[in-house]
Structure 1
């Protein structure tokens, strides 16, 4: 039997560290839009130059070079705009470095898998831990060519990383690729150009605690007035004192508006970003700020009342409530969502499914156990082979977004999220729980059984239902009950005392002598398992 990989212990997922809310800029005039585009284009050009300088510096970049970049930008903007640009540039460069490392690891995994399968005989069967050889000579030949392609890509990526080079597209590589497929995207060149320019604009400013309303560059008053500090070359466009431009109309934050107003009145830092949605013809304002870390609940306290195990799938969340002993209670629940269509539609579907799950958990004041999934290394074509539908299924599961949004929404409701290792939950859940939980009126699916396995792992119990039965002998059979009282229950290994009084039928002369001798009873199991007296409510899971 092959060795199973080690399973990480469950842990309480930490809460979010920041908040972002968005609202629409309504009632702005054509002149306001013109000024916003001019400022965004000017700052976007400077951001592109700064990104080029940061990428050229590579990993050897230090604080002195950072200060020099900021001084250079200050000559054409202001010190605050320059600080926002350099900080955003540094974050983008760091993100690109992490993505580059993940891409290298993905290529290395693909090269290892193909090289292993090429080393085997054609048609050789694989195991659960390693794939077998390729099925035909044609497939072997095609994969040998792909191996050379992946090795060339891996060599180039390693060279870029050693040299400190990263490749970043301001505006997005996907939108850039759309330029060569305008017909497929149903776009004209003018429409694409408008989107491209909108994505490359820079209109975001970091907040400053102690400054008026928490931000001197993009200022939003508690009454909703929005004003922008214009860069030096565009100062002639100002319509307010101190080189500022005041937008027409006001904004209202419907979500977390009270929290935002408290920070603005208290002059605490709030970062703002203004961006244009070209498809809808609208402008939006996003406010964000950091929040103190939420104190996590101890794992023992989160498990006290039981919890809800949740299995994440491509089109629904399978959930089942478990008591503190790990026994399923009630009926399984499924929360469906549709991830087709636009990004806004997919996001709304996911939020709707999560809020129904959270309301169910809040009614019973229960924690939620969920898998700590990460499919970044499990959706490659080399690992999953010809199973294109399965690859597409895994790639379409927004596990990271679902987990992050679930943790954020659960924190607002005061619920606890317990993350568990996803290893073998579906397989062991189907093996130990699918059949026992199936009845004439309920058909248990693999996903429902996986939810039970996830919940038991979050509670600290083993996935399997029962302990191993004793070996064969004359008084015990391997198929007998194995349910026992929990460890630590007083008297769990002792015999029941003889109860005096009248009996329903005459007892044998030596019954009281044999009442403490469990081995004298010719029955399956011990008397403690068949009597009417119980030391404690016996869980079915031990």
Structure 2
């Protein structure tokens, strides 16, 4: 097929390499909260200054400058706090750098699209692969002006990229912009100020193997006691020896608590982060650590018993079970979720839908096939023009959240994940599978057909179905030619057994004397003529 891009080969998704668990700090006193805020604000100020120094260094930053920044912070806090701050700053700068690269790509995509449409006559129709011209001269003129704006932005961003300049907001750009729209957000100035200060605090410390309980800065004992090593200027607030402050609250990690206790018992590194949820008025402690990379199962083993093809959509997951030959088995499943409301509600909806999908796949011992989606280049307004609703639909799909959640949850249940190229799965699934799988009692949707296409691509089969023979030849001795058996499958072209029943009055398959043998249909030279049960010659007299 001309013009179709090459489809990448499917692969087994590697498991996660990190674990993060969280628990609430219950029973904190007013003094505990005051100390946590003072320490977090002080370390947040140091982190802001260090981030400014890191951004000023740009691409000229090296190991020597890193050591210089750490020495400057050590005198104002401690060596371990300084190490945590410099590492977090470097990670934040790298994240901003990657976001800058994605923004450059988005600007270039928009410019290329506008240039293509401006070069076409007004009102020219587009194709499936490329958009057409603009609808009117007024729109053409407006887009020509927007092209100049995007080109200026691209020039500025490229200059910043080459110079190594990034723009980072500690606390979040969205929360900063909320300050100018307090009425729309339903916040007062004091409420916004509390959230802003909480977001800019720094209360996280990296773990260190070989030290007591895996962390000297923020230490959590086996009985759940939490103690913090105070910075030097705040050592006067200590209520324990060696400049430490012990909180009145206790933690008990319910999720993966056994793994956490095994690590701190062996004094293995565990990183901790303390943060305040201003909206709920609660404090939380997050523990995280790295895990060794697990050897992924071979692709052939994941395909052995078939798998479950899953099509991700804006409001549900469409899934269909396929056997090893790529044939749909049973009825499709739909796992719906609602992405309206708060972030916590959306996250709970995603987790609930995924756990139902994983339990269904676990019941049959099957792998899961998903698309390797990336919508970074699809959400630009220049690609889809006036289709604002469609752009919002794509932007609202929680692809990254679904992918991260699915990988971690599948690893816990030991379910292999197979990622496939998403090219043409929806189009070819609807073309080849939607109508054949539709019956009088069930209407197959486009998304369910796409799930079948995804599963067949993961199994290594072509998405296209085998050619359907004429109606009169669909029950011949070679069986249905639409059966999706592999070319080397044994018995693929064998005779079809008769189904026993009152109408056919035949014996069950494989029970008759001539089961699978068509020798008796050839009358001449039939071996049955020489059997011993043939009637002998009549006597001449009685």
Scaled by the length of structure 2, the TM-score of the pair is 0.89
1:61-101 C-alpha deviation (Å, 9 max, x unpaired) = 11010000000000100000000000000000011111101
1:176-231 C-alpha deviation (Å, 9 max, x unpaired) = 00000111111111111110000000000000000000000000001000000000
Tell me how far 1:483 sits from its aligned partner.
5.1
Q: Distance in 2 between matches of 1:16 and 1:484?
A: 35
Q: 1:35 maps to which residue? A: 35
Tell me how far 1:482 sits from its aligned partner.
5.8
Tell me how far 1:160 sits from its aligned partner.
0.5
Q: 1:18 maps to which residue? A: 18
Q: Secondary structure at the match of 1:274?
A: strand
Contact kept, 8 Å, 2:322 with 2:455, in 1: the verdict is yes
1:434-473 C-alpha deviation (Å, 9 max, x unpaired) = 0000001111000000000000001010001115979xxx
Structure with the greater alpha carbon radius of gyration: 2
Residue 317 (structure 2) pairs with residue 317 (structure 1): yes
Q: 1:62 maps to which residue? A: 62
1:129-163 C-alpha deviation (Å, 9 max, x unpaired) = 11110011111111111111111111110010111
Q: Distance in 1 between matches of 2:294 and 2:399?
A: 23
Query: Residues 507 and 357 from structure 1, CA distance in 2 versus in 1: closer, same or farther, beyond 3 angstroms?
Result: closer
Residue 276 (structure 2) pairs with residue 280 (structure 1): no
Q: Distance in 1 between matches of 2:145 and 2:303?
A: 53
Query: Residues 493 and 453 from structure 1, CA distance in 2 versus in 1: closer, same or farther, beyond 3 angstroms?
Result: closer
Q: Distance in 2 between matches of 1:184 and 1:75?
A: 44
Q: Distance in 2 between matches of 1:26 and 1:37?
A: 16
Q: Distance in 1 between matches of 2:166 and 2:343?
A: 28
Q: Distance in 2 between matches of 1:495 and 1:366?
A: 30
Residue 130 (structure 2) pairs with residue 158 (structure 1): no
Q: 1:220 maps to which residue? A: 220
The number of equivalent residue pairs is: 503
Q: Distance in 1 between matches of 2:354 and 2:249?
A: 35
- Contiguous gaps of at least 5 residues in structure 2: 471-475, 497-511, 528-542
Q: Distance in 2 between matches of 1:209 and 1:386?
A: 56
Contact kept, 8 Å, 2:325 with 2:484, in 1: the verdict is no
Query: Residues 104 and 394 from structure 1, CA distance in 2 versus in 1: closer, same or farther, beyond 3 angstroms?
Result: same
1:98-136 C-alpha deviation (Å, 9 max, x unpaired) = 110110011000000001100110011111111110011
Q: 1:129 maps to which residue? A: 129
Q: Distance in 2 between matches of 1:181 and 1:165?
A: 28
Scaled by the length of structure 1, the TM-score of the pair is 0.89
1:301-320 C-alpha deviation (Å, 9 max, x unpaired) = 00000000000000000000
Q: 2:404 maps to which residue? A: 404
Query: Residues 137 and 281 from structure 1, CA distance in 2 versus in 1: closer, same or farther, beyond 3 angstroms?
Result: same
Q: Secondary structure at the match of 2:308?
A: strand
Query: Residues 490 and 373 from structure 1, CA distance in 2 versus in 1: closer, same or farther, beyond 3 angstroms?
Result: closer
Q: Distance in 1 between matches of 2:170 and 2:61?
A: 21
Q: Secondary structure at the match of 1:228?
A: strand
Query: Residues 457 and 52 from structure 1, CA distance in 2 versus in 1: closer, same or farther, beyond 3 angstroms?
Result: same
Tell me how far 1:486 sits from its aligned partner.
3.5
Q: 1:343 maps to which residue? A: 343
Contact kept, 8 Å, 2:429 with 2:446, in 1: the verdict is yes
- Contiguous gaps of at least 5 residues in structure 1: 471-475, 514-542
Tell me how far 1:495 sits from its aligned partner.
11
